[in-house]
A and B are shown apart, each in its own frame.
Chain A
Amino acid sequence: MHTYQRLKTTFEFMEIMHLNASSTEETLALKTDSNKSPQLPIKKLEAKLLPGEIVVNEANFVKKCISTESCQDDLWGKLVCTNFKVSFITHNSLPRQKFQCTHRLLGEHDIPLACVEQVVTVNEVKGKQKILGSNQKLKFNPTELILYCKDFRIIRFRFDEAGPESVKKVCLAIAHYSHPADPQLLFGFEYVGKRYHGSTGETVNGVDPGGGLQTPLFDCSSDWDREIKRTGASEWRVCTINQGYFISPSLPEFFVVPVSLADQDLKQYACCFYSQRIPLWCWNHSSGSALVRMSNISDPLQQRKVEQRISSAIIKSHPLRSDVFKSDLDKNLPNIQDIQAALLKLRQICVIEPFEESEEKWLSSLESSRWMEYVRTFLRHAVDVVYMLESRHVSVILLEKEDRDLSCVISCLVQLMCDPHCRSLHGFQGLIQKEWVMAGHRFLDRCNHLKKSDKEESPLFLLFLDCVWQLWNQYPAAFEFTEVYLTVLGDSMWVPVFSTFLFNCPRQRAEHSRDFASSKSIHLGQDQALRFPPVWDWSQQFSLKDQTLFNNPLYVGKIATCVQNGTVKTFTHRRSKKNYSSTLRGVPSALRNGSLGPNDTLSRRNSLILRLRSDLSQVREQQETPSERFIRDWFSRPIDLQGLLLPQLLPSHLSVWKLYFLRWVPEAQIPQGGPITAFHKLSVLTDEIEMLQNQLRQYKGAGCTPNNQHMEHSKMYFKVTLTPHQSPAPPEYLSSSFPFSPVGNLCRPGITGTPLSKFLSGAKIWLSTETLANETI
């Protein structure tokens, strides 16, 4: 707690400094610039603070740059650094966009400190710039501050008219607070801690983890029990030996193991595994095959024996006693540094390089970033695992050294492809809880929230979201959520309030919240840990209306067809889905599941190929592997959106996730165009269908007159107008970036030819602190 104390004194000190300095400067600035700068009622420019949030430093008469070319549209306002965010408060407003989603925790111009990747200060006159870290000094007065954000935004402020001292301080404060020395300095602690001080306890900040949420968090044994039941994994049981985290520091308190393994055995085996991670059950395929993840066995002497024991236990848990297939992820997939490097290159070509110049070699640059290649590799690997489960009916063990990174991606993708439940909103959220949060993905390190080690930073979760997006993009009607949802979920990593993304493992969360509670004399009462809201509590961030942007009209529309006959068929599991799928996809369900052996046609065909191959030099050698055959065979059948889904994996089938990666790029924004226009039409249509159904229900029910209750309950963001004679053209504010806007969110520093841009485009990758600190031109 030493660090924390030290930091706290520092900032109290800075606050005092700031109070003295800014008052004099403000008057000064007022005198000198009163004719230039707009006359603003300064007092009204105050940061909106959340509970637990305090202002650290601020500067007046700051300009936020809106476009690179001209400063005409720049906004005047006040730059504030709090312990949560960098806030820019202005009275000038951007052309008001009708759709603006108001974030409940963040204002239009706010950036959470956790989202700030790099703080660059520039003095144009002296030709200097410096990348600021924590506790650093600044030897020049910055004229410009550029914030590079983790979500690909680049925000730029100019200080032409602001007081140099307060500017310096605010810059240093931003740098300092975006590099917290301790996890407990992340804003979530103060924010959540506040609720325990309030007399009204329960309602402060509306934190209500689990309660009212339909998403299972998998932090209790009942959630696991339900999952076992749902997947029919009767030979598996919930194991409680890690309660209190006494066995493994990185495993959850509850997890699932083969019935045949007793607690005593497990305790014995635990010490052989990396970080005592006993193999974890993820999911059961309907054939009875299990998906299991496992870390490396650290003790080479024990390796064979333990492996055998584990395998035979898994085999015993298989109804057909099928074999176990081990999939070594470290060998087949890029490592976390590769992935990080790929993202940095992608960011370079998407938002840093001047737009026009990168045009000609866009596809080549994209290829050389290797991001798309990695997305493909992960998807392909997941398909291979699916093949083992689906076609070979064997259980699969995902093997990774620590079992905390690559396995999270693969196990989720496998389940998304196989299990339609995971494609519903709550199923998907539960999946992330299960395979990421509880399995101990090091979100704290991988997000690099503490900016401690760049080597540990890796956008694994974003890569996963991109993989999901590719699936979504190929089968949009199979998912309950939209790409806006995926994008917003990715952004939420940088709002350091949610239990989901703050910690490396459940134990760390428990420990830190205990420490924090005791240092703040918070009585946790019945809670074991501070009640951080999970990100799944979406009303923390968005209004109900804005949350409708997450609802996929194609999927909702389909639910509507189920409800149509009066019986609500829920989306629980594939095996109960046969009827449903046939309502729209037109697959006679009786024939759907395997009555046709794919091999009886294939063997014949294959023999033909073989015969010809011997004497035909023109024919390409085609050694079709069984898994290729499985894939090809799957594609030759009609697609059942509530069944197995396999992605198409040629490079041409995968696209850049434009909404995520290009939303801030003004030059890449298609006004009144983009996929959103089709979404709009679907949304309106689905809304109309829902309304008609309501009417039907009312007629059928009491026979009373239909009312307009519909409007409040609609799941759709775009609603049908009540007098639709013609399908309306999409609203003018729609663009390919919707619901985001590049305005003011991407300011590439400097125009081509200016020193700074030279300096940036010269750097091969995203500015790294080591190489660029103190560098001058």
Chain B
Amino acid sequence: MEKQQHSSGSDSPVLPPVPRKPRNLGIGIPASRQDSVDSLDSDERSDCMAHFSDLISPSVIFSLYPTGSHVEWCKQLIAATISSQISGGVPPEAITRECKVGKKIDFRVSRRTNLRSLDSGEDGCQFDSDYELPSHTTQIFKDARKQAPMDEVPLVPGETITTTVKDVMYICPFSGAVTGTLTVTDYRLYFVSLERDSPFILDVNLGAISRLEAISVQSLGENTSGMEIVCKDMRSPRFAYKKEPQSNLEILDVLTKYAFPLSNELSLFAFQYKEQFPEDGWKVYDPVAEYKRMGLPNESWTISKINSNYEVCDTYPALLVIPTSITEDEVKRVASFRVKHRIPVLSWIHPETQATIVRCSQPMVGPTDRRCKEDEHYLQTIMDANAQSHKLTIFDGRQSNVADNHKAKDGGYENGSFYPNMELKFLKIPNIHVMRESLRKLKEVVYPIIDEQRWHSAIDGTHWLEHIRLLLAGAVRIADKVESSKSSVVVHCSDGWDRTAQLTSLAMLMLDSYYRTLRGFQVLLEKEWIGFGHKFAARVGHGDENHANSERSPLFVQFIDCVWQMMRQFPTAFEFNELFLITILDHLYSCLFGTFLYNSEQERVEKALNSKTVSLWSYINSQPEDFTNPFYVDYENHVLYPLATLRHLELWTGYYVRWNPHMRPQMPVHQNLKELLYLRAELQRKVEELQKEVSSSRSVSSSSEHAYSPSHGGTPLHTSV
């Protein structure tokens, strides 16, 4: 294996370029190409935004990153095909600028092009060599192109090809059909066509596949079979291929086997994946450190090991924060009164007021209005732990009639007469089945064809944004209760792992600026979602062929959508960017990383995920600059209340409609911002140089006193451009 060193383009003349550690690049890769073009002056420098990638040996594909929206567009598509990012080593970057004093431009070369994921091949991101490249680089490109067989499949470490079929037709809903070669590995489906003037590539992670279906393609002749690949990520590519009588293994069978490994007695690909990253994402979340950040334990709250063997509650994490004064016995009684033994535990504590967000499942009140003294006492203790308020608000995420139904079936909600000083509020959020249906309708609206005339009413008809609104509105009420009324809150729904996770994590995102940083957000997910047992395996259906399973529901997608909505309303308040959110969602399905696998901490420990799989955060944190928002300013201690109104909520087209080539995103302003940041850095350097000259020629101090000192001035540069 060959290792490869990429010199990273950095924006800042002050800071050294971020060192990128050598990356394991899999099979026989040549050293990457680097073509430096010397002596371009500063004006010309940015002309050279071309960005090359080369492919696994011996093939080399060069691809070009155009500017502005196209870049962003590409990035988002790239996010869909992790393989390219991972194996490429170098992330897609919009503009590569080398700002060291030497003034040279670096045509960075990464191993793979990322643009191939374009379903939309012919729009936007395709390669247009004659058009844009300065002549010398064009030449290089052409040479490379000649020698490159482009149907080579890029593989991530640990990935193996299972079958390759030639003369397969991809029926693109946007640009017509293309014929090419389809390869299925144990991780992806990879289709490449060299028919058109630029290679057309479709890359689908098998993990994203929800359902495989044979479809009729009679119009193409009798010996032709068709298949539709219905994906969880809002697309459904279709293929047509010749039936091959001599081959026993139909492509559909192979696909089925590897797309649904758990149904076919195989293991998830994450256990095969062998990439190594400089950062270890499994170390991102340390519960004790996180509780310590919040000032815990304190006199009222303790970090308890009562669940260290998952005996109290098998869907909770080993470490729980519970009131100090509650005895082990009491905890067990409370556990027996709460559904799935999910007792009230602390999620977040206000650093000043000590008001807390506590989460749990519904109490098992039942039709007979059962009581549990210990549970009543427990909630009273939670209220008493906060001296600022003599009230406790219980937010039940459900609609009240649904809660009543649960009550009739042994569940229910806290009865006000047994829980004095507590008010119960229903947040009226529909259940997982409604959400699943809503997203299904949304897919019908956005894929593949958009009805322009009825766009808005069609979106209304899915109620997707209405549900987003309800969630955000609920979370705002929780955050406001904690912040403004200084009162502690208890949040639950039925089991306390779906709506509860959505609500508590959104409220925490509003209240605590730490969670709005790149690392903080990872901690938030690890804690509120992964730790507290959101059933990712069941909700996503990793590796499982039972697509109709009613346990599946896009709750986590919905949560990420809410975060995106908040980012839209507060464009400078989040350290991470849209690409980060899309990347998370792509790996929710991909089964490449261990992060979102299984339903609970207990299962993850059993399967030794930490040692056998790679964390998504390893990948993210090894190249944080790609996921950083250049507009970010620290709203320290600011509570953000997003407006939960349809006036401000928008359909996240950059995620849901990204496969449609017409839905090109608009030119992102942050591109312009980065240009300005770059310019400022340049100027600062020049001023500094001149200042040195001035001060060396004259030993006058007065001038430098007044002069703006660039060395400590300015916002910290976000070095990724």
Contact = CB atoms under 8 A, between A and B. Distances in A.
Interface of A: 355, 359-364, 366-368, 372, 473-477, 553-554, 557, 560-561, 564-565, 579, 582-588, 591, 596, 601, 604-605, 608-609, 612-613, 615-620, 622, 632, 635-639, 648, 650-653, 655-656, 658, 662, 665, 667-675, 677-678, 680-682, 685-686, 688-689, 691-693, 695-696, 699-700, 703, 705-708, 722-730, 736
B161 interface: no
Given A605-B197, A689-B676, A632 B123 contact: yes
B407 interface: no
A362 B640 contact: no
A554 B683 CA distance: 17
A616 B636 contact: no
B706 A730 contact: no
A586 B67 contact: yes
B570 A727 contact: no
A361 B657 CA distance: 22
Given A616-B176, A695-B708, A725-B712, A638 B570 contact: no
B47 A586 contact: yes
B694 A609 contact: no
18 contacts: A363-B459, A363-B646, A364-B456, A557-B676, A565-B43, A583-B43, A584-B46, A604-B197, A616-B220, A618-B177, A620-B449, A681-B633, A692-B687, A699-B690, A723-B713, A726-B634, A730-B633, A736-B648
B715 A708 contact: no
Contacts of A474: 666-667
Contact of A651 (B452, B465, B571): B452
B384 interface: no
B672 A476 contact: yes
B387 interface: no
A605 B456 CA distance: 33
A601 B454 contact: no
Contact of A696 (B68, B635, B686, B713): B686
Given A367-B457, A632-B123, A736-B648, 16 more contacts: A362-B645, A474-B666, A557-B675, A582-B44, A618-B217, A638-B68, A639-B70, A648-B666, A650-B663, A653-B666, A665-B647, A669-B643, A677-B573, A680-B572, A685-B680, A706-B707
B283 interface: no
B130 interface: yes
A706 B703 contact: yes
Contacts of B452: 650-651
A636 B94 CA distance: 16
B569 A639 contact: no
B647 A668 contact: yes
Question: By CB atoms of chain B within 10 A, which of A596, A617, A651 has the most?
Answer: A651
Interface in B655-694: 657, 662-664, 666-667, 669, 672-673, 675-677, 679-680, 683-684, 686-687, 690-691, 693-694
B49 interface: yes
A719 to B, nearest CB: 12
B122 A724 contact: no
B43 A705 contact: no
Contacts of A670: 569-570, 642-643, 648
Contacts of B664: 635, 648
B537 interface: no
A432 to B, nearest CB: 25
A705 B702 contact: yes
A724 B708 CA distance: 10
A380 B469 CA distance: 32
Nearest to A615: B219
Contacts of A596: 128, 130-131
Interface string B29-54: 00000000000001110111100000
Nearest to B124: A636
A638 B459 contact: no
A655 to B, nearest CB: 8
Contacts of B133: 588
Top 7 nearest A-B pairs (CB, nearest first) are: A727-B715, A362-B646, A651-B455, A692-B683, A367-B456, A363-B456, A586-B49
A703 B176 contact: no
- Give the interface SS of chain B, mostly helix, strand, loop or mixed: loop
B131 A637 contact: yes
Contact of A728 (B570, B633, B672): B633
Given A362-B460, A557-B676, A619-B176, A677 B690 contact: no
Contact of B132 (A613, A638, A655, A680): A638
B171 A360 contact: no
Contacts of A632: 123
Given A670-B648, A727-B633, A587 B132 contact: yes
Question: By CB atoms of chain B within 10 A, which of A372, A474, A565, A616 has the most?
Answer: A616
B128 A636 contact: yes
B126 interface: yes
A349 to B, nearest CB: 10
Contact of B176 (A622, A637, A674, A726): A622
A667 B648 CA distance: 11
A677 B574 CA distance: 12
A706 B708 contact: yes
Contacts of A703: 694
A586 B716 CA distance: 25
B196 A604 contact: yes
B291 to A, nearest CB: 27
Given A651-B455, A667-B645, A678-B571, A635 B640 contact: no
A678 B669 contact: yes
A682 B220 CA distance: 56
B455 A652 contact: yes
Nearest to A580: B43
Contacts of B310: none
Contact of B707 (A653, A662, A689, A705): A705
A707 B44 CA distance: 32
Contacts of B459: 363
B252 interface: no
Contacts of B684: 692
Given A583-B43, A696-B686, A685 B677 contact: yes
B104 to A, nearest CB: 16
B460 A699 contact: no
Nearest to A682: B673
Contacts of A689: 676, 679-680, 683
A609 B714 contact: no
A188 to B, nearest CB: 36
A117 B531 CA distance: 59
B285 interface: no
A677 B571 contact: yes
B160 interface: no
A366 B173 contact: no
Contacts of A582: 43-44, 46-47
B706 A605 contact: no
Contacts of A674: 569
B46 A583 contact: yes
B703 A554 contact: no
B651 interface: yes
Contact of B124 (A361, A554, A635): A635
A518 to B, nearest CB: 52
Interface in B541-578: 569-573
Interface string B709-721: 0101111100000
Interface in B236-272: 238
Given A605-B122, A638-B70, A681-B673, A360 B132 contact: no
Interface string B170-181: 011101111000
A724 B713 contact: yes
A586 B672 contact: no
Given A617-B219, A622-B176, A730-B633, A695 B67 contact: no
B589 to A, nearest CB: 24
A586 B49 CA distance: 6
Contacts of A583: 43, 46
Contacts of A604: 196-197
A83 to B, nearest CB: 38
